[in-house]
Amino acid sequence: MRAYDYLSLLQGAAVTVSLSLIGIAIGVPLGLALALVRWAGVPVLGRLVAAYVSVLRATPLVTLSLLVFFALPNVGVPIDPVPAAILTLAMNTAAFNCEIWRAALNDFPRPQLDAAVAAGMTPWLGFRRIVFPQIWRFSLPGLVNEMTLLIKSSPAIAVVGIVDITRAAVRIGAQTYEPLPPFLAATALYLLVVLGFVRAQRSIELHLDRKFGFA
Amino acid sequence: MMHEFAIVWAHKDRLLVGFGNTVVLSLLATAAALTLASPIAIALMSHRRPVRALARGLVDGMRCIPFLLLAYIVYYALPTLAIRLDNWTAGLCALVIYNAAYMAEILRGAWASLPREHVEAGLAFGFSGLKLYRRIILPPIVLACMPVLGNQMIQIIKDSAFLTIIAVPELTHEASAIQSTYYVPFAAFISAVLLYWVLCRLVEISVGAVERRARARR
């Protein structure tokens, strides 16, 4: 492997991390919105969300990437590889995040919100001041775990032509006829990325612990 | 739109062949991974430090890399070490190695929370070594992690879709083939997604049924 090869692997790492982060930035709040729809018991919509989550959780990311990239143009919505990859990651992670948020919401004592509303808060204000500050701490480990799972399934977006870490490693291997070194380098990169997420979670928990005396 | 589904329906035999391959691949991989996970779990719980460290390294390594990367290593990098496998075998091996590590960690977790008295009672009745493991330790921990093992099987089904990239003729691969021949992307991939969903629901339902039956017999 030459210096240039290491550079292209790093470029792949930047692609993996940035696309995953954008997917997470969309998927985490979207998952919360879906979970709230089910928590609030909205009649038809709640059922639709349940069906969405059930199907998306059973769909391999490769299949979803292909569906998004090839089927959207077919129904008249042209889409480039990068937005298709982001949409795929966000749709997938939103379904899993919905279940994580829902577990936290189900664990949350609803009378607290009733009390807030009785004290004159609007439900939205009650959600912001009373519910959300408690459920996000409860959900954090699950959410970070799901983020690392998303990173590990992100090579699926290579099927629509994105050059991520894994794809970059395959290319180098094909050019140099020595596939093992780039694959080992790719392994090290994934290790760093996953450890980075876990570290970030720990430091957030530590910060909360210092500030409030509990995580 | 209906026209698209009609085309897929006309080629349902291909899709079903892919579905069958996905089912066979997942079942074989689950059985083999669970079998392999058991000795790895023993190594993870070993009193000998080097054994434990080796198993820990393997498990943590697998838990850090994406499945596709391992599939590539098995398919493209092993031949440089003079181990050459065809794409079907390579895919199956990758599924087994990868998921055995996850299953070993699941078993270890359940084992660690097994009450000490349970094992001691087994020892008092004269069980030791492999027999102690097989008769006293394994049954309760497998039962305890049934739902998690079911989830891992769903993960195996979903991971198997990656094998389309090394041209294993599984469900996604066949859907892709129909798609690229007749240009019916929506119908082809939605059909695949629904078949995956049916398969995963079946796994969930059967895990639930086995669990209920086991609980009733206890």
According to the model, what pLDDT value does residue B103 have?
Answer: 95
Closest of A90, A68, A119, A84 to residue A20, by C-alpha: A90
Residue position matching structure tokens 């509990």: A214
The tokens of A162 are what?
């994105």
Q: What mean pLDDT comes out for the span A192-203?
A: 88
According to the model, what pLDDT value does residue A178 have?
Answer: 87
- Count residue pairs from A and B with Cβ separation < 8 A: 124
Residue of A60, A152, A178 lying closest to B161 (CB–CB): A60
Q: Does A67 touch chain B (CB under 8 A)?
A: yes
What is the pTM (predicted TM-score) of this model? Answer: 0.89
Q: What mean pLDDT comes out for the span A154-179?
A: 92
Q: Is the pLDDT of residue A212 over 80?
A: no
Residues in chain B with CB shorter than 8 Å from the CB of A170 are 72, 76
- How near does any CA of chain A get to the CA of B124, in Å? 41
State the ipTM, two decimals.
Answer: 0.88
For chain B, domains (ranges, CATH) are 2-217 (1.10.3720.10)
According to the model, what pLDDT value does residue A30 have?
Answer: 97
Burial (CB count <10 Å: 0-12, 13-18, 19+), residue A122? exposed
Q: pLDDT band for A54, please (50, 70, 90 cuts).
A: very high
- Is A55's CB within 8 Å of B197's CB? yes
For chain A, domains (ranges, CATH) are 3-212 (1.10.3720.10)
Buried-state track A66-104, b at ≥16 Cβ within 10 A, e below 16: bbbbbbbeeeeeebebbebbbbbbbbbbbbbbbbbbbeb
Contacts of A60 (CB under 8 A, 6+ apart): A156, B157, B158, B159, B160, B161, B162, B172, B196
Q: Is the pLDDT of residue A10 over 60?
A: yes
How many whole angstroms separate alpha carbon A158 and alpha carbon A143?
Answer: 24
- How near does any CA of chain A get to the CA of B126, in Å? 42
Entry field: residues in chain B: 218
In chain B, residues 137-166 whose CB comes closer than 8 Å to chain A? 154, 157-162, 164-165
- How near does any CA of chain B get to the CA of A40, in Å? 26
What values do phi and psi take at A75, rounded to 5? -100, 20
B-chain residue closest to A192, CA distance: B64
More confident residue, A106 or B215: A106
Collapsing DSSP states into helix, strand and coil, what is residue A177?
coil
According to the model, what pLDDT value does residue A2 have?
Answer: 81
Q: Could you read off the pLDDT of B169-200 as tens digits, one per residue?
A: 999 999 999 998 988 889 999 999 999 999 99
Q: pLDDT band for B140, please (50, 70, 90 cuts).
A: confident
% of chain A at pLDDT higher than 90: 74
B-chain residue closest to A190, CA distance: B65
Q: Is the pLDDT of residue A215 over 70?
A: no
Q: Does A27 touch chain B (CB under 8 A)?
A: no
According to the model, what pLDDT value does residue A201 have?
Answer: 85
How high does pLDDT run on average in chain B?
91
Q: Does B185 touch chain A (CB under 8 A)?
A: yes
Residues in chain B with CB shorter than 8 Å from the CB of A193 are none
Contacts of B134 (CB under 8 A, 6+ apart): none
Q: Is the pLDDT of residue A214 over 70?
A: no
Q: Is the pLDDT of residue A1 over 80?
A: no
How far lies B214's CA from each of B146, B186, B207, B208, B217, in Å?
A: 10, 42, 10, 10, 5
Q: Could you read off the pLDDT of B56-77 as tens digits, one per residue?
A: 999 988 988 999 999 999 998 8
Closest of B65, B82, B162 to residue A185, by C-alpha: B65
How far lies A36's CA from each of A40, A165, B79, in Å?
A: 6, 35, 51
Residues in chain B with CB shorter than 8 Å from the CB of A71 are 185-186, 189-190
